Structure 1
Amino acid sequence: MVNESTVTESIPAPGPNGASGFDFIREAVDLDLKNGRYAYVRTRLPPEPNGWMHIGHAKAFSIDYFVAKDFGGTCNLRFDDTNPEKEDMSYVEAIKRDTFWLGIDCRDRVLFASDYYEKLYELAVLLIKKGVAYVDDLSDQEIREYRGTDVPDKNNITSTPPGRNSPWRERGVEENLDLFARMRSGEFADGARTLRAKIDMAHPNLVMRDPVMYRIRREKHYRTGDAWCIYPMYDFQHPLSDAIEGVTHSLCSLEYEIHRPLYEWFIREAEVFPSRQIEFARLNISHTVLSKRWLLRLVQDGLVSGWDDPRMPTIAGMRRRGYTPEAIHDFLGRIGIAKTDSLVDIQLLEHCLREDLNRRASRVLAVLRPLRLIIENWPAGQVEDLEAVNNPEDAQAGTRKVPFSGELWIERDDFAEVPPPKYFRLFPGNSVRLRYGFIVTCTGFDKDPGSGEITAVRCTYDPLTKGGNAPDNRKVKGTIHWVSAAHAIPLEARLFDKLFVAERPMDVPVGVDWVQTVNPASLETVSRAFAEPSLATAAHGDSFQFERLGYFCCDSDSRPGNLVFNRSVSLRDTWAKIEKKQS
């Protein structure tokens, strides 16, 4: 039994984000505690600092963190930083910021695999002394060929003939120790030699065919500098770093299932703490990609503005778009933890955000595509403050005053010279309610003689209908929003659509580059929009519902007098309709 004094018993686990019931991971953890395999629970979040955190990582991090929390255990945030070519401290800080923002608070347990380099080297020496590791002179290409396949993806474990032993596989222990020490001292060129585990070159799992443990790379490490010229491979350092930290349950996505025998082999042969690996299905969402490598290409090719582009599935991008930690955790709780991969409709994610913002976002009036509305019988120069509800879902939110005058901005789509069937907004002779204001009747419109574009709509108002109620109980079917032209503040609105046209962007025909499925219309910038004056005090990150238009978040590009708002999600809830139809 593995013991730790801080936790000594199994406790009921509510599941992620308070969901009731055990999933298969919690069942396994609970059984391990009950049968004495472990007496405490410790998990770890093991990001590689080579990119920014995305929502797929959020799922994995949430599972790790809340499993440990539910059983009274601890969770480490360990950066698996053993690939110096691609890693950087800026990625470390970005991942920490996004992890803590999500409420996954491991700030007192931030660790680095690079701190274990000396210990990992000692464990490699131990394996050499035991005769289960050797220094090999084969090149990378030769290793692939000897393994039995030259397919670069080592996860390809389709039926292959037995591999061939390296000519240097039977080197003696002393020679291997000498060569490995000289590898560390920098005597050999990059790629000249590797340290490999001696397992089984005929194993049906290619991962087990004498995997590489160390390679020579003269790359400056962002933390250790030039102190090392040999670096451990992930499959070697990962289980042993878990063991060094006393991690009880190493929770990872399903693609590591075929690596589990190797994970267990290294732990057993190194005679270290017996961490246990458990796999779960990774997150796949329609119309996006969840891979740092693929997301990096979008950034490098200029297809997005950066890692925090609001169209990106990165946590920074989602935060900038207006997503909240609560909405993300609600989504993760709804999809649950499974053992098989599946594709989640992005509309479910949007539904979770819409529900959260509906409860918390203040309502404001804004017009994206303005058309002037002139109230011909409004008293000249008069301004009236109308009372508007801040959030009908929250009585505590109260009300605000919105100025109303004789010239307003309305949405261009809210007027039609010749209305289509069932059009209940403004057209000649028709009446509508102005939100929080009066009932107006269209009397005409102005048109540019050159272009034919409507430049203004004219109407009269009924002063007895303040608040939108008619004393004579006349039926008015349409209600439109507006802002006072004299009081409106200008803003830029950025409207987002799906980043990829294809539901599965990576499923493209042979010879077709997947980036060709990027949606060219995923961003529309509306530069001449207007909003009620209360929005002038909006700060970066503030979210609002622009009535009838959607939920918007104040962007970091905003400056005094030059506000920028990102549309987080529209008001239309397609997912709710799907759920209702399914039920």
Structure 2
Amino acid sequence: MSSTATASNNFIRTIIEEDLKAGNNDGKVVTRFPPEPNGYLHIGHAKSICLNFGLADEFGGECNLRFDDTNPSKEDQEFVDAIKEDVQWLGFTWAGEVKYASSYFGQFYAWAQHLINAGKAYVCDLSPEEASEYRGWATQPGKNSPYRDRSAEENLDLLERMKNGEFDEGTRVLRAKVDMASPNMNLRDPILYRIRKEHHHQTGNDWCIYPSYDFAHGQEDAIEGVTHSICTLEFQDHRPLYEWFLENLPVPSQPKQYEFGRLNINYTVTSKRKLKQLVDEEVVSGWNDPRMPTVSGMRRRGYSADALRNFCNGLAVAKTDGTVDIAQLEFEVRNDLNDNAARAMCVLDPIKVVITNMPEDKVEVLSMANHPNKEEMGSRDVPFTREIYIDRADFSEDTTLGRKKFKRLVFEDYVRLRGAYVIRADEAIKDEAGNIIEIRASLVEGTLGVNPPPEMKPRGVIHWVSASHGKPLEVRVYDRLFTHEAPDKGDENFLDHVNSESLSTITGCWIEPAAAACAPETRFQFEREGYFVSDRYDHSADTPVFNKTIGLRDGNK
């Protein structure tokens, strides 16, 4: 597994190195990856996973997988399961058991009582609208809630009754007593608990009040002994509150929060809310649609875990946000597939070729290497028969086409079939409308792996599939989901930039039998067509389905 970004472009690595030299944290490094289970992981999460797990691995530490499941209205067990699967698929193993914020709900409640007894928290009856008005603006200080000076006894009683379900949602919250005049809006008496009478995927109906993320975050880190709590940049303004809780609660450790710039990619959205909208409005088929920037979507499209890790580990870990060109990701995907994808032949737009000087019942089994540069990848058997399919674009009736301009099959000229013989086109069979429906050709004997005489020199090499032994398949070709470089910037609706041609399905294609029989998630380079993967869910030997991952060269597809 490749390491995280080099020291020169990863300031967090430098911090850890300095902490270890100074003997801080007893020489331990404990990180965590803390997703909220309200959607599938996307490429931005992949960067965070590689960073947190990678640093822990590099320095002999541990990384926890922890679900910040404090909002049951948006969370689901489906997301929990998908996140665990994605982390494992990316090649990482978390320390110990999976952890949940909900496992600490009892401790959070006790700490809320501690703050009340210390005069640093109170139950507030302001409506959401009133609370917003009291909070003020960025340029105007807020004002204290009229309920801020309730006694500890009254607050403890009200909190207990909130927990017991006596009050309706939205009628009361527990707030920290910090500073309503602070220029940092996060310190203006933030909410610690709110009433949510909803079923929780881990705790069931045990609770009807739930802690806010800000209240849970630092305390989870402290309970777990996290030494370096790594967040994206939007949490920078929350750090003073993170530290306030740690200073005012009897927590078992003192973690430190560090923020780095989140990953943005052009022609992509990574807002979980917008990704959910794409799913809910059926713009895509689901969270794992191959056009989605989710880990499961990219996996289904044929991206490998190695390619994603190489991409993420090559990015700078900086203190500013930035946008990465999607071509950088595509380069890593293509580079990985070029090295590791087996070769196969698939004809996407077939036209039949009948080799007239070959017996009808003859089947010659040819051996072809699975990779031109890797003997260790072995070979496969490819049946060669009298009737084959070639791509329609690989034939022309125009005998005036020069060899440099058209390196394919032309009447009364020669072409080599990949891994097989040289053939010559002799005749075209047409339907009543004048469309070519079949090509008659002749095979040049003795040309299997041997160059023909100069007068029979082939124009080029084309791929093919046996018509009698090949298998029909469905091919799904994907383009970028958005036509705009920055689809979610500006005042326009990001859905206005959805590419209506981001998916095209091709049927009537033919593939060699060995490739058709592969397991789901097998990656291939289809000769001269691009890189493809057998679909994770829909592919079988009886009904082959392949997704196009990426083209052979740089481009949109």
TM-score normalised by the shorter chain: which range applies? over 0.9
Equivalences for 1:181-580 in 2 at 5 Å?
181-272=160-251, 273-418=253-398, 422-450=405-433, 452-467=434-449, 469-472=451-454, 475-508=457-490, 510=491, 512-555=492-535, 556-573=537-554
In structure 1, what is the Cα distance between the partners aligned to 2:51 and 2:110?
Answer: 32
How far is 1:457 from its partner?
Answer: 2.4
Change over 3 Å in CA distance of 1:473–1:283 after alignment to 2: farther
In structure 1, what is the Cα distance between the partners aligned to 2:450 and 2:247?
Answer: 76
Alignment equivalent of 1:142, drawn from 126, 130, 150: 130
Report if the CA contact (8 A) 2:517-2:540 is conserved.
no
**1:68 equivalent in alignment to 2:56:** yes
Aligned match of 2:97: 109
How far is 1:43 from its partner?
Answer: 0.9
Report if the CA contact (8 A) 1:465-1:471 is conserved.
no
How far is 1:58 from its partner?
Answer: 1.4
In structure 2, what is the Cα distance between the partners aligned to 1:544 and 1:550?
Answer: 8
Aligned match of 1:580: none
In structure 2, what is the Cα distance between the partners aligned to 1:182 and 1:506?
Answer: 43
Larger mean CA deviation between 524-533 and 107-116 belongs to 107-116
How far is 1:107 from its partner?
Answer: 6.2
Report if the CA contact (8 A) 1:497-1:523 is conserved.
yes
Larger mean CA deviation between 393-402 and 495-504 belongs to 393-402
Change over 3 Å in CA distance of 1:22–1:284 after alignment to 2: closer
How far is 1:128 from its partner?
Answer: 1.4
TM-score normalised by L of structure 1 = 0.90
3-state DSSP of counterpart to 2:283? coil
3-state DSSP of counterpart to 1:120? helix
Alignment equivalent of 2:140, drawn from 154, 161, 167: 161
1:356 partner letter: D
3-state DSSP of counterpart to 1:284? strand
Report if the CA contact (8 A) 1:147-1:163 is conserved.
yes
In structure 2, what is the Cα distance between the partners aligned to 1:561 and 1:32?
Answer: 58
How far is 1:560 from its partner?
Answer: 3.8
In structure 2, what is the Cα distance between the partners aligned to 1:432 and 1:15?
Answer: 43
Report if the CA contact (8 A) 1:435-1:468 is conserved.
no
Report if the CA contact (8 A) 2:51-2:313 is conserved.
no
Aligned match of 1:26: 13
- Any unmatched runs of 5+ in structure 2? none
Q: Give per-residue Cα distances to partners, 1:224-274, cap 9 Å, x unaligned.
A: 122111110001111111111111111011111111111111111114221
2:528 partner letter: R
How many residues of Structure 1 are paired with residues of Structure 2 in the alignment? 550
TM-score normalised by L of structure 2 = 0.94
2:547 partner letter: N
Report if the CA contact (8 A) 1:42-1:246 is conserved.
yes
- Any unmatched runs of 5+ in structure 1? 1-13, 150-158, 576-583
Deviating beyond 6 angstroms after TM superposition, the runs of 4 or more aligned structure 1 residues are: none
Aligned match of 1:8: none
2:265 partner letter: I
Report if the CA contact (8 A) 1:433-1:468 is conserved.
no
Aligned match of 2:156: 177
How far is 1:438 from its partner?
Answer: 2.1
3-state DSSP of counterpart to 2:499? coil
Q: Percent identity?
A: 49
Larger mean CA deviation between 378-387 and 53-62 belongs to 378-387
In structure 1, what is the Cα distance between the partners aligned to 2:545 and 2:431?
Answer: 30
Aligned match of 1:47: 35
Q: Give per-residue Cα distances to partners, 1:501-526, cap 9 Å, x unaligned.
A: 11212124x3x321222211111111
Report if the CA contact (8 A) 2:4-2:55 is conserved.
no
In structure 1, what is the Cα distance between the partners aligned to 2:450 and 2:427?
Answer: 21
How far is 1:19 from its partner?
Answer: 5.1
Change over 3 Å in CA distance of 1:222–1:148 after alignment to 2: same
